[in-house]
Amino acid sequence: MRITDEQRQQIEGRIRAAIDRLLRGELPQAGKCDVKTLALEAGVTRAALYSTYLHLKEEFERRRDQLREAGVIADPRDAQIDRLKQRVHQLEQRLSTLEQENADLTVFRTQAVSRLAAQHEEITRLRAAVASASNVRDLNSARDRAPQR
Q: Could you report how far apart the first and last alpha carbons of the chain are, in Å?
A: 136
Residue 35 to residue 46: CA distance in whole angstroms: 7
- φ/ψ of 28, rounded to 5, equals -70, 165
Position 6 scores a pLDDT of: 92
Position 1 scores a pLDDT of: 67
Q: What DSSP character marks residue 71?
A: T
Tell me the domain boundaries of the chain.
5-74
Contact 49, 56 (CB under 8 A): yes
Position 138 scores a pLDDT of: 64
CA 106 to the chain's CA centroid: 26
Pure H helices in 25-133: 35-42, 46-51, 54-69, 76-132
Position 130 scores a pLDDT of: 83
Contact 67, 74 (CB under 8 A): yes
Give per-residue burial for 108-146: e unless 16+ CB within 10 Å, then b: eeeeeeeeeeeeeeeeeeeeeeeeeeeeeeeeeeeeeee
Position 24 scores a pLDDT of: 84
Position 74 scores a pLDDT of: 55
Position 31 scores a pLDDT of: 78
Q: What is the pLDDT along the chain (149 residues), one digit of tens a residue?
A: 688 989 999 999 999 999 998 888 788 877 788 899 999 999 999 999 999 999 999 999 999 888 888 877 656 666 677 878 999 999 999 999 999 999 999 999 999 999 999 999 999 999 888 888 766 566 676 555 666 65
Position 133 scores a pLDDT of: 72
Report yes or no on whether pTM surpasses 0.85.
no
